[in-house]
Structure 1
Amino acid sequence: MQRFIQRHPVWSFIIALGAAILLWLIFAPWSTGMEDALGKKRIFLNGIFGGITLGALYFLVASGFTLIFGLMRNVNLAHGSLYLLGGYLGFEVSERTGSWFLAFPVVFVVVGIVGIVLQNQVFRRMEGEELRQTMVTIGLSVVIADLLLWQWGGQSYTIYAPDILFGPMTLPVVSDVRDSGEVVYLKYPAVRMAILFAAIVIGVGMWLVLNKTRLGMLVRAGVDDREMLAASGVRIQYVFLAVFAFGAGLAGMAGIVGGTFQSLSPGEDTRFLLASLVVVIVGGMGSIPGAAIGALIIGLSEQLGLIYAPTYSVVFTFLIMAVVLAFRPQGLLGRG
């Protein structure tokens, strides 16, 4: 981050100014003129927090993708299928055991094992062959999608959050001031705030592991010069197996979150694969902070676009990606 500020002081100032204006819009009381121009503040705040929590979901999916694609250089276009598989498995576990929390470790382990199989049987045999990896994983995604459709059908499934996270929570943000002078605070679903907090914890933990531990050093060294690391006696395949399993397990857990946020249905795998690609392109390949920033930008653009320009909301995501590719092809926090 400091390096980015030093290299791009103008862009850093623009970003800081935009963040300051956004914070002012969130916390400051709105005048009648602003409400006439932008609509009720409550609608704006719901869009902001909806975008932030949607960004948290995108981050959970894209962070695993950026580990596999950005760090290991494995083009896994079946990543969306791992998301949908994890969601369906999480639905089954929560329905059969009555525990939403138990679904997370179970799905992480099962989908992680699927990731190990993919890395050991597919990607290990096609190292450095991006075109073959792309074609094979597209085929795998189609096969997995058909198997999921055969098992769970075409209907939608919703994963219900536990009672402890059911209902709204009051946030210390003013959403309205009534004519009587009564101050109304924003209420937002507790489960979404809990998942946002969990995404922040996971993101910080991943960054610390990759940048402050021996395992992270081995992963980065293996990406830069695999042959030299292997010659030093490190079994790099085991390291990459662990990284791939973690990324796949993270995508599976994101499926549970997605099923709780919205629903699970055929086609969600393609949607979240596309979202992961956009997030990684915007944030920068192999960068956990970049994935977080990219997910936040895309989540906010989707939600605010649906509120203020629903006809063109889909365009905003790809417009952001096009601007980033035009001015910074390696992504906002990618290495040049």
Structure 2
Amino acid sequence: MQINDHNPLPTYHADPKRYDQMKYRKCGNSGLKLPEISLGLWHNFGHNSDFTLGRKILRRAFDLGITHFDLANNYGPPYGAAEENFGRIFQKDFLTYRDELLISSKAGWDMWPGPYGNFGSKKYLIASLDQSLKRMGLDYVDIFYHHRPDPETPLEETMGALDQIVRQGKALYVGISQYSAEDTVKAYEILEKMGTPLLIHQPRYSMMDRWVENGLMDVLGDKGIGSIAFSPLEQGLLTNKYLKGIPENSRAAKDGRYLKPDQISEEKIKMVSKLNDIAQTRDQTLAQMAIAWLLKDPRITSVLVGVSKPEQLDDNVKAIANSTFGPAEITQIKSLIGAS
């Protein structure tokens, strides 16, 4: 992140009305509540991004009642950069608001060379969280996730590491991300026996990526596990950005790691255009409707968004004003995206 103090921001004082417009949902069977919209720092907080802009985004988020900031050890670039820059911003702007914030991090993807910097061993998870806490300047995170399933490490070891992390006071709660329905049940049962509840699951979920509807959402509801959906806008496809093709300044044009141009077919653009027409009849942007579509399910605790400018947060937060859909709207939308 480009550190630019030539035009320092004024001292931050949070908006006293920050809790008036946000809604909060109970996370599964726990006593914890999450804002219906959470902010992810996956993009735009690396060392190649503007530091002052990052501060403005985080300030605007909190002023809108977004109390949950979601990170991971490998967010950057380079790996660790988002946590480092968040730590700097936290010290400048949010130190006095720590008890009003939920800060989460994760480990599970490749982080450093050698056999101990990846997947789900106790060695990796505990070392990674220790590094994350140092980068952010925190004594603990509110939620620590295992970022992805590990086909080689016994689930008992991975869940044992999460249990140990809670008992050490390095995290208040633990979660998992991208686990199948079957493995979620196993993880839940292992942690339950240890006395550490599985608080939350973070799956990829959008109107166009609905694998969670084939069993996982039922498991989360049955077990009382919360959920926070990431990539709700399908990397920007569920916005008005691609209605006329691929703009030159879009992520698909500049960075093919996440949304490849060949994924934006003419057929998909037609579908997105029809969804946009429905959104307009609801007096919503397409992005707002896509977020609302997920929030209509009470098993979704929060929707995780990423933004490149503060104004996008205002647009996203407006989605919570109307997250109900009539039978005719549901039928019409499912006819476009396919019924589950």
- Give TM-score, length-normalised by structure 2: 0.23
User: Which has the larger share of helix?
Assistant: 1
Of structures 1 and 2, the one scoring higher in RCO (CA 8 A, sep 6+) is: 1
Structure whose alpha-carbon radius of gyration is higher: 1
